[in-house]
Amino acid sequence: MRGMSLIVKTITNIMIGFIFIYGIYIILHGHLTPGGGFAGGVILAGAFILRILAFGSNAGAEKKSEKRSSVFESLGGLMFIGIAIAGLIVAQIFFLNFLPKGTPLHLLSAGIIPLCNIAISIKVGAGLFSIFLALAAVKYVMED
């Protein structure tokens, strides 16, 4: 995929860090403010997509990053199921909130909910990014 003009590249250079930090904020504060793993993961995927659209990349790198994002999506899903099975091991209840709850309105509170948010964000972000790469970026064989 080809890149875009110099204006787009400069603006992307300035903005992409802020978009990334906003996505991570939405994920980590998912149990305190509106947002959560799904929305934050989509924002992270949007930052990656913006980078690909603005700067462009060659087919080999796209193929490689599609493989890597598929691996990350599976890792996020396994992490989510792993948290659920940890509850099964601790007290024989699937998805038990077994960690200490902490004081409300603090960042480290609510037991497994922040960990679940992180797992879902990895899964959703990598999944949407690999869908984008497969549909829009990677060359497929249908053209010939």
Partner 1 sequence: MIELYLFLIFMTVAAFVATEIKDLLAAVISLGAVGFSVAIMFILVQAPDLAIVQIVVEVVTIIIFVAVIFRTTHVDETIGKKLTGTHILSIVFFSFFALFFLVAVFRALQELPAFGNPTMKVASEYIRLGLPKAGGANLVADVILDFRALDTLGEATVLFTSVIGVAALMRSIGRKK
Q: Which of residues 57-96 bind partner 1 (CB under 8 A)?
A: 70, 73, 77, 80-81, 84, 94-95
Query: Of 9-17, 23-31, 54-62, which segment contacts partner 1 by CB under 8 A?
Result: 23-31
At 15, the amino acid letter reads M
Residue pair 86/98 in contact (Cβ under 8 Å)? The answer is yes
Among 65, 117, 118, 121, binds partner 1 (CB under 8 A): 117
Q: Collapse the DSSP code of 105 into the 3-class scheme (helix H, G, I; strand E, B; otherwise coil) and give the result.
A: coil
Selected from 32, 56, 75, 98, the binder of partner 1 by CB under 8 A is 32
The amino acid present at 51, given as its one-letter code, is R
Site string for partner 1, 3-22 (x = CB under 8 A): --------------------
Residue 97 found at the interface with partner 1 (CB under 8 A): yes
Alpha helices in the chain (DSSP H): 6-28, 37-55, 59-91, 113-132
Answer yes or no whether residue 102 interacts with partner 1 by CB under 8 A. yes
Q: How many whole angstroms separate alpha carbon 72 and alpha carbon 81?
A: 14
Tokens of 27: 């994920």
Q: Which residue in 43, 3, 1, 48 sits closest to 22, CA to CA?
A: 43
Interface residue list for partner 1 (CB under 8 A): 26, 30-36, 38-39, 42-43, 45-46, 49, 53, 70, 73, 77, 80-81, 84, 94-95, 97, 101-102, 104-105, 109-113, 116-117, 120, 123-124, 127-128, 130-132, 134-138, 140-141, 144
